[in-house]
């Protein structure tokens, strides 16, 4: 897996901020970008699809399912 360089990361961050400002209409003043590797998946689990996310009830929490699905202390690529 190719690791993106600093220039690519900063371009993507700038594009994300531009979308938030110009497309969504928020100032993104308190947006934080967290850099790190992806967590490993636990066998037999998978992330929710966009359709599954859309079907969640309002204010639903996925914290429990996410913390079971990923091994946050075992990072990918390392």
Question: Contact at 8 Å (CB) between 69 and 46?
Answer: yes
pLDDT tens by residue, 28-63: 888 888 887 666 666 667 777 889 888 989 888 877
Positive or negative, the Cα torsion across 6, 3, 75, 49?
Answer: positive
- Report the pLDDT value the prediction gives residue 62, as an integer from 0 to 100: 78
Average pLDDT over residues 65-77: 62
Alpha-carbon distance 4 to 17, whole Å? Answer: 19
pTM above 0.75, yes or no: no
pLDDT of 11 above 90:
yes
pLDDT, greater one: 38 or 77: 38
């Amino acid at each position: 897996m190719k690791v993106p360089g600093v220039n690519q990361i900063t371009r993507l961050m700038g594009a994300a901020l531009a979308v938030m400002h110009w497309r969504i209409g928020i100032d993104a003043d308190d947006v934080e970008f967290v850099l790190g590797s992806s967590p490993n998946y636990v066998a037999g689990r998978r992330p929710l699809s966009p359709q599954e996310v859309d079907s969640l009830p309002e204010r639903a929490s996925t914290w429990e399912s996410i913390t079971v699905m990923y091994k946050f202390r075992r990072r990918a690529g390392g």
